[in-house]
């Protein structure tokens, strides 16, 4: 009887641990997906502001970045996701989980410039889009410098 109870408890604990692990891995995979999808859209805006400007394509790309930036990805930095593998090993620095003020600053700057990018894209002004693209890219870099391990 006792051993059965112990076995049952152990099974529940292992199942709980496996579920928590899966949750961490999913969270890392989801955030990596968000960043990489934004990277595609940054590439598209870059190609447009450096080459032939297609207003519609820039609008689509800027809108995608804006919506992802405002989606609340902070929720994907779940406890325990400072290490782990989503699509690949996370490169988040431990500071992201401790330096709340610093994270708030870079995240706020990113959302602000992403919102502005969508606004500027809607006007179709290629020169303004190029300038805003630079500002937006700066906020990506700002966060990477502080909170992402370099390859």
User: Counting contacts by CB under 8 A, is residue 66 touching its own copies?
Assistant: yes
How many of the other CB atoms lie within 10 Å of CB of 138? Answer: 12
Of the candidate residues 30, 78, 80, 93, the single one contacting its own copies (CB under 8 A): 30
- What is the C-alpha to C-alpha distance for residues 8 and 2, in angstroms, rounded to an integer? 10
Looking at the Cβ atoms of 12 and 36, the one nearer to its own copies is: 36
User: Counting contacts by CB under 8 A, is residue 61 touching its own copies?
Assistant: yes
Looking at the Cβ atoms of 61 and 143, the one nearer to its own copies is: 61
The C-alpha angle 136, 134, 123, rounded to 5 degrees, equals: 80
- Rounded to whole angstroms, what are the CA distances from 120 to 36, 53, 124, 134? 22, 13, 7, 12
Looking at the Cβ atoms of 60 and 146, the one nearer to its own copies is: 60
Could you tell me how far CA 18 lies from the centroid of its own chain?
Answer: 24
User: Counting contacts by CB under 8 A, is residue 68 touching its own copies?
Assistant: yes
User: Counting contacts by CB under 8 A, is residue 19 touching its own copies?
Assistant: no
Looking at the Cβ atoms of 40 and 79, the one nearer to its own copies is: 40
Sign of the CA dihedral 16, 18, 75, 30? negative
State whether residue 89 is helix, strand or coil. Answer: strand
Of the candidate residues 9, 10, 87, 138, the single one contacting its own copies (CB under 8 A): 87
Restricting to residues 88-127, which ones interact with its own copies according to CB under 8 A?
A: 88
- For residue 124, the 8-state DSSP code is T
Count how many residues are written for the chain: 151
Looking at the Cβ atoms of 88 and 101, the one nearer to its own copies is: 88
Which chain residues interact with its own copies by CB under 8 A? Answer: 26, 29-30, 32-34, 36-37, 39-41, 57, 60-61, 63-64, 66-68, 70-72, 76, 87-88
């Amino acid at each position: 009887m006792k051993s059965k109870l112990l076995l049952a408890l152990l099974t529940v604990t292992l199942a709980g641990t496996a579920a928590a692990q899966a949750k961490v891995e999913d969270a890392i995979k989801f955030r990596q997906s968000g960043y990489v999808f934004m990277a595609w859209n940054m590439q598209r805006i870059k190609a447009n502001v450096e080459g032939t400007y297609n207003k519609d394509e820039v609008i689509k790309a800027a809108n995608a970045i804006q919506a992802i930036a405002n989606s609340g990805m902070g929720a994907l930095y779940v406890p325990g996701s400072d290490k782990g593998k989503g699509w690949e090993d996370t490169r988040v620095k431990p500071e992201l989980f401790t330096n709340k003020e610093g994270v708030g600053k870079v995240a706020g700057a990113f959302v602000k410039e992403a919102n502005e990018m969508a606004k500027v894209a809607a006007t179709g002004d290629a020169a303004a889009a190029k300038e805003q693209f630079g500002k937006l890219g700066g906020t990506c870099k700002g966060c990477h410098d502080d909170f992402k391990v370099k390859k």
